[in-house]
Amino acid sequence: MKRIIIITVIMIITVIVNPSTALGVVNPQSGSAAVTATVPDRGRPDTPVLISPGNNAVISTAAPAFIFNPSLGDRPVSHYQLWLDGAKNTDHIPQSYSTITAQALAALTPGSHTWMIKAIAANGSDRDSAIWSFSIDTTAPLILVNEVAGQPFQGAVSFSTADRYPLISGQSEAGAMLSISFNNETVSTQIGADRLFNLKPKTALLPGRYTVSISASDQAGNSTSLPSFYLNIISGGGLITIPLPSPLPDLSFTVPVIIPLSLPQIITAIPFQPECTCSWLPWLIIILLIIYIIISKRRR
**What values do phi and psi take at 89, rounded to 5?**
-110, -55
DSSP-assigned states of every residue in 185-248: EEEEEE--TT-EEEE--SSPPPSEEEEEEEEEE-TTS-EEEPPPEEEEE-TTTT---PPPPSSP
DSSP-assigned states of every residue in the chain: -HHHHHHHHHHHHHHHH-HHHHTT--S----------PPP--PPPPPPEEEESPTTEEES-SS-EEEEEPP-SSS-EEEEEEEETTEEEEEEEEP-SS-EEEE-SSPPPSEEEEEEEEEEETTS-EEE---EEEEE--PPPPEEEEEETTEE-TT-SEEEES-SS--EEEEE-TT-EEEEEETTEEEEEE--TT-EEEE--SSPPPSEEEEEEEEEE-TTS-EEEPPPEEEEE-TTTT---PPPPSSPPP------S-----HHHHHHHS---TT---TTHHHHHHHHHHHHHHHHHHH-
The tens-digit pLDDT sequence of the chain (300 residues) is 455 555 454 555 454 445 544 444 455 555 555 555 454 556 899 999 999 999 999 999 999 999 999 998 888 999 999 999 999 999 999 999 999 999 999 999 999 999 999 999 999 999 999 999 999 999 999 999 999 999 999 888 999 999 999 999 999 999 999 999 999 899 999 999 999 999 999 999 999 999 999 999 999 999 999 999 999 999 864 444 445 555 655 555 454 444 455 555 555 555 555 454 456 667 778 888 888 888 877 666
- Asked if domains 49-136 and 143-233 share a fold, the reply is yes
Alpha carbon separation from 160 to 141, 151, 198, 230 (Å, rounded): 28, 9, 18, 9
Task: Sketch the domain layout of the chain as residue ranges.
Answer: 49-136, 143-233
Domain 143-233 CATH superfamily: Immunoglobulins (2.60.40.10)
Give the list of residues 6+ apart from residue 259 with CB closer than 8 angstroms, or none: 291, 295
Q: Per the confidence metrics, is the pTM higher than 0.75?
A: no
* Fold of the domain spanning 49-136: Immunoglobulin-like (2.60.40)
Cα separation, 90 vs 104, whole angstroms: 6
300 CB burial (10 A radius; 0-12, 13-18, 19+): exposed
